[in-house]
Amino acid sequence: MPSCHGAMNKLHGETDFTIALAGNPNVGKSSIFNSLTGMGVETANYPGKTVELNIATTTLDGLNIGIIDLPGTYALGAVSDDQWVARQGVLDGEPDAVVMVVDATNMTRNLYMVLQFLELGYPMVVAMNVMDAARREGRHIDLNRLSVLLGVPVVPTVANRGEGLDEMIMAAVEVARTGQKPTPLGISYGLDVESMISQVSEAISGAGLEEPYGIPDRALSLLLLEKDPEFLEITSALPGWAPVLELAASLRKKIEIGHGQKAATRIAGERHALAGLISDEVESMAEEQELGWGERLWRYTTSPATGIPILLFVLAANFLILYIVGNGLAEVISNFWATYVAAPLKDVVFSALGENIVTISLLWAVDGFQAALTVGIPFVLVFYILFAFLEDTGYLNSVAFLTDSVMHRFGLHGRAMIPIVAGAGCNVPAIIGTRVLTTMRERVMAGVLIVMVPCSARNAVIFGAVAFYAGWQSTLALYTIILFLWVAVGLALNRMMPGEATGLVMEMFPFRRPHLKTIYKKTWNRFKDFVFMAIPLLIAGSIVLGLLFQWGVLQTVAGWFSPVIEGWMGLPAAAGVALMIAVLRKELALQLLVTLAIAAGAGEAARDNLNAYMTNEQLFIFALVAAIYIPCIATIAALARELGWKRAMIIMSFTIGLAVLVGGLVNQYFKLT
């Protein structure tokens, strides 16, 4: 992954204009970025920071335009990685214009960061997003007046439908071409704060000091009065700044004495108040406006009395859809493959090349491809469709609010529920999503809980091994065990790790109608990773396994772990080998089991019915162990990147130990019953 400096220098060298996209995490900024850029997105990071920037290019009227997608955040500062990277991405990237994406249904909150960008003085355009939702709520926003007050163009958009994006990017190109800087009308704070800003600004300009990043004196004055650690360090290392820093320190002290609060808190309060005044001036509500269906659903889904039953219903509905549709597709595809592809292909290969180590290995590759078809399409694809639907309606945000009080029992807050729920799709992006949490304690705890959430690959193994053979009752029992372990581990972590959960600060949006095109894009972007990464692994892995089996290597390895696999967990040796190799991708586990079962003497019957090799109880234990231990190599890498290799290895060891312990205990239970 390139560094931000290198990627941005390259971007400037290859484009006519560079535009930065900014906004909070839930305002639709990512939808705008994806709509503008499509493919060819490059990620870049700052050394020592886990939050990344997305960088891409697009074209407009023959112009090559670079787009820098800043991390979603609610403010600019050095408080957290996302805020620091968002600000540094602008300072280092030196964009020709900034597009600030604002939520039209919550202007007061969003205008806070707009004011911070105005202070930096970059040419800017405000994209007033989700205008459709604002209209449904009866909000009328005088965009022309807002444009006058802020001194920048304001363009209405609906990101998930692509409305207004052409006008937005054209406005951004125009301000970039002209270098039109913001000319706000009457934007000022309280008299005492403005007086202190003026004193510091005059001291800077009067001394003719070097200005870091070339930002205006007013912005520098505010940063020093807010005691921004980065800019205090930068300016203290520059010649001539000592008197200015002493002045800023004395004025900070004066604010603290006069107002009983830190200067940064006082200035933040002034910004919030000013944002509220601007919002009140340009926005009006229709009288006696009835609540729209989206707001009514939001109230129902976030109230504990109705939200919890709805959540249970949604989870049950997803379970049933995945079970019924996934199993149905799996059976159809499996029968078709066995009848029209696998059997004829086997005859052709053996007739042409004979039965030898090469042809047997080739047929193992065929089995690997069959795994992608019978596991990936039925279960992984169906799950991603369901997840994209829930995400696009806004229901996942409701889940975060609803579960906030519950998550505090685990030492987390409701926002942690979003990456945890996302972990049911894929643990890797879910772990990356823990960046929204502010402390390492919360991120470690969330990381452990995420890897204990069965991802789509592990769900495919559960449904393919347990639901398909033992029925829905056994599948429900397996998920009950996983839920019990998840709760127990979460509570234990909260007791063992010192610290407390931070408060929940998050935007809340009313429900919206799902957009089919958006669902399709989200589903495909996630599913293509399986198509382009899992299938080659399945095929290559199957060939390698075929060779290793023919050479007797796998049997030897299985013998080493026989006391644990066969003695403690009651599984055949081949099942242990499948579990070990499935760390590449959990989708491998089930098909590897089938292939190894055939090779171990179960015959071709095991291809269509695993009960020819294992009992339902053994399949239950196999799927349970596969669901508990660390998902895959990609997850380990994501943990190492976000939390460090030491923590990643501890989490991996813990989950493996827990899986072996629980698998053995369930085996002993089956023996007693």
At 37, is the pLDDT very low, low, confident or very high (cuts 50, 70, 90)? confident
> Which of residues 582 and 628 earns the better pLDDT score?
628
CA–CA separation, 324 and 365 (whole Å): 28
> Which of residues 664 and 520 earns the better pLDDT score?
664
Buried b / exposed e across 596-608, counting CB within 10 Å, b at 16+?
bbbbbebeeebbe
At 220, is the pLDDT very low, low, confident or very high (cuts 50, 70, 90)? very high
Over residues 359-372, the mean pLDDT reads 66
pLDDT at 387 (0 to 100): 76
pLDDT tops 80 at residue 217: yes
- The amino acid occupying position 392 is D
Percent of the chain residues topping a pLDDT of 70: 80
Q: Which of 593, 659, 653, 656 is nearest to 625 (CA)?
A: 659
> Which of residues 224 and 456 earns the better pLDDT score?
224
Over residues 520-532, the mean pLDDT reads 71
Q: Is the separation of the CB atoms in 291 and 138 below 8 Å?
A: no
Q: Which tokens sit at 152?
A: 């920048």
pLDDT at 658 (0 to 100): 95
At 509, is the pLDDT very low, low, confident or very high (cuts 50, 70, 90)? low
pLDDT tops 90 at residue 249: yes
How far CA 43 is from CA of 46, 55, 181, 262, 454, in Å, comes to 11, 6, 28, 37, 27
Interhelix angle 304-337/472-496, rounded to 10 degrees, is 130
At 226, is the pLDDT very low, low, confident or very high (cuts 50, 70, 90)? very high
CA–CA separation, 121 and 115 (whole Å): 10
CA–CA separation, 572 and 615 (whole Å): 10
- Min mean pLDDT across 388-392, 548-552, 665-669 is at 548-552
At 368, is the pLDDT very low, low, confident or very high (cuts 50, 70, 90)? low
**Residue 555 CB: number of other CB atoms within 10 A?**
16
How far CA 220 is from CA of 120, 195, 473, in Å, comes to 9, 15, 64
> Which of residues 79 and 130 earns the better pLDDT score?
130
* Residue 290 DSSP one-character state: P
pLDDT tops 60 at residue 288: no
Q: What is the per-residue DSSP string for 345-363?
A: HHHHHHHHH-SSHHHHHHH
Domains, the chain, with CATH or none: 4-178 (3.40.50.300), 191-285 (1.10.287.1770), 304-502+520-672 (no CATH)
For the chain, state the CA radius of gyration.
29
pLDDT at 530 (0 to 100): 58
At 296, is the pLDDT very low, low, confident or very high (cuts 50, 70, 90)? confident
At 108, is the pLDDT very low, low, confident or very high (cuts 50, 70, 90)? confident
- Min mean pLDDT across 193-197, 224-228, 319-323 is at 319-323
> Which of residues 494 and 35 earns the better pLDDT score?
494
> Which of residues 419 and 148 earns the better pLDDT score?
148
- Min mean pLDDT across 139-153, 244-258, 605-619, 644-658 is at 605-619
> Which of residues 415 and 179 earns the better pLDDT score?
179
At 321, is the pLDDT very low, low, confident or very high (cuts 50, 70, 90)? confident
**Residue 291 CB: number of other CB atoms within 10 A?**
14
Buried b / exposed e across 89-111, counting CB within 10 Å, b at 16+?
bbbbbebbbbbbbbbbbbbbbbb
- Min mean pLDDT across 237-246, 271-280, 366-375, 390-399 is at 366-375
Buried b / exposed e across 45-54, counting CB within 10 Å, b at 16+?
bbeebbbbbb
Percent of the chain residues topping a pLDDT of 90: 25
CA–CA separation, 479 and 274 (whole Å): 50
pLDDT tops 80 at residue 253: yes
- Min mean pLDDT across 257-271, 320-334, 555-569 is at 320-334
- Min mean pLDDT across 86-100, 248-262, 428-442 is at 428-442
Q: Is the separation of the CB atoms in 158 and 128 below 8 Å?
A: no
pLDDT tops 90 at residue 484: yes
Q: Which of 115, 142, 638 is nearest to 423 (CA)?
A: 638
Q: Which tokens sit at 552?
A: 């007797």
Length of the chain: 673
pLDDT tops 80 at residue 373: no
> Which of residues 354 and 274 earns the better pLDDT score?
274
Average pLDDT, the chain: 81
**Which residues does 166 contact at the CB level (< 8 Å), separation at least 6?**
none
**Residue 586 CB: number of other CB atoms within 10 A?**
27
**Which residues does 602 contact at the CB level (< 8 Å), separation at least 6?**
612, 613
Most confident of 111-120, 160-169, 208-217, 332-341: 111-120
3-state secondary structure 18-78: EEEEECCCCCCHHHHHHHHHCCCCEEEECCCCCCEEEEEEEEECCEEEEEEECCCCCCCCC
pLDDT at 601 (0 to 100): 60
Chain centroid offset of residue 553 CA = 39
> Which of residues 606 and 215 earns the better pLDDT score?
215
Q: Is the separation of the CB atoms in 126 and 146 below 8 Å?
A: yes
pLDDT at 662 (0 to 100): 95
pLDDT tops 70 at residue 408: yes
Q: Which of 122, 269, 112, 120 is nearest to 193 (CA)?
A: 269
Q: Which of 147, 88, 148 is nearest to 120 (CA)?
A: 88
Q: Is the separation of the CB atoms in 228 and 212 below 8 Å?
A: no
**Which residues does 411 contact at the CB level (< 8 Å), separation at least 6?**
441, 442, 445, 490, 493, 494, 497, 499, 500, 501
What would the pLDDT profile of 429-478 be if each residue is shown by its tens digit?
678 667 667 678 888 999 999 999 888 778 878 877 787 777 888 889 99
At 79, is the pLDDT very low, low, confident or very high (cuts 50, 70, 90)? low
- Taking the alpha carbons at both ends of the chain, their separation in whole angstroms is 54
**Residue 341 CB: number of other CB atoms within 10 A?**
14
The residues pairing with 124 across neighbouring beta strands, listed in sequence order, are 98
Q: What is the per-residue DSSP string for 563-624?
A: IIIIIIS---HHHHHHHHHTTS-TTHHHHHHHHHHIIIII-THHHH-GGGTS-HHHHHHHHH
Most confident of 125-134, 324-333, 399-408, 638-647: 125-134
pLDDT at 572 (0 to 100): 87
pLDDT at 416 (0 to 100): 76
Q: Is the separation of the CB atoms in 297 and 260 below 8 Å?
A: no
Residue keyed to tokens 């054209």:
170
pLDDT at 124 (0 to 100): 94
pLDDT tops 70 at residue 292: no
At 483, is the pLDDT very low, low, confident or very high (cuts 50, 70, 90)? very high
pLDDT tops 60 at residue 568: yes
> Which of residues 353 and 145 earns the better pLDDT score?
145
Over residues 564-592, the mean pLDDT reads 80
- Min mean pLDDT across 67-71, 238-242, 371-375 is at 371-375
CA–CA separation, 597 and 367 (whole Å): 12
